[in-house]
Structure 1
C-alpha cells in the first residue's frame, strides 16, 4: 500500500470514510470542472474519476483525493486546491484500465505533487 498524502483525504476536508461521492459536482479554485463519475482506491492510491462533460471535450480526468479541500454533503460539491488549467494539464486519462495501472497513477501523483501549494478555503 502506498502511504502518500496526495492519495489521502485531508482530515479537515469533510470527507467521511466510506462516503459515496458519485454524482457530486467538482470545483477547482476557479470554477466547476465536472462531476464525480466514480471513486477508486487501487494500490493505496485513492482517486476520483471526474467526467468533465463538454469542458474538456467530453473526456474524464483522474484526480488524487489529496487535492480535495472540501466535501459539502448538503450541496453535493467537492472543492479542489488546484485550478481548472492545472487539472486539464494533468497526465491524460484515456481508459478505465489506467486506474489499475500503478505507473500511470504514480505519474498523476507526481504531477499533482509539483503544483504550487495554495491557501485553502472552506466549501
Structure 2
C-alpha cells in the first residue's frame, strides 16, 4: 500500500472485519510474533482503530493501531494479523496518560507514523 492511498482509520475490505464482529479479546499477531490482545475496537467510518494491551511484552503498554494495519482476522483461531513488526509497534507514538484513545492529536501522530512507508 503506498502512502498516497494510506487510509489509516478504515478497515480494509479484505481483512475480514465484518460489521458487528467484536474484536475485543482476540490475540494480535505481528509479522514476527504475538504482541498482545485487543482491549478495545471501534468501528466508526474514518475513525476505526484497535487498542492492544501488550502485557509484559513492552511493560504493560497499550498501543493504538489504525484499522488499516489489520491484514486479516481468523475467527476460528481468535487471531488478528497485522502488517507490522514488533519493533514498529514498540516504537509507535507514546500514549499520554490522562488522554483518550480518540484524541485527534495522538491519532494524527499514529496515522503519520504508520504511513511513513511501513504499509
Instruction: Give the RMSD, CA atoms, in angstroms.
Output: 1.8
TM-score relative to the length of structure 2: 0.87
Residue 94 of structure 1 deviates from its aligned partner by 3.8
Q: Take 1:96 and 1:16, find their aligned partners in 2: how far apart are those partners?
A: 31
**Correspondence for 2:47:** 45
Kindly tell me the number of residue pairs found equivalent between the two proteins: 114
2:84 corresponds to 1:68: no
TM-score relative to the length of structure 1: 0.85
Q: Take 2:21 and 2:31, find their aligned partners in 1: how far apart are those partners?
A: 23
Q: Which runs of 5+ in 1 are unaligned?
A: 118-123
User: After superposition, what is the alpha-carbon deviation per residue over 1:33-82, rounded to whole angstroms, capped at 9, x for unaligned?
Assistant: 00000113578321111000000001111100100000011111000001
Conserved 8 A contact 1:43-1:102: no
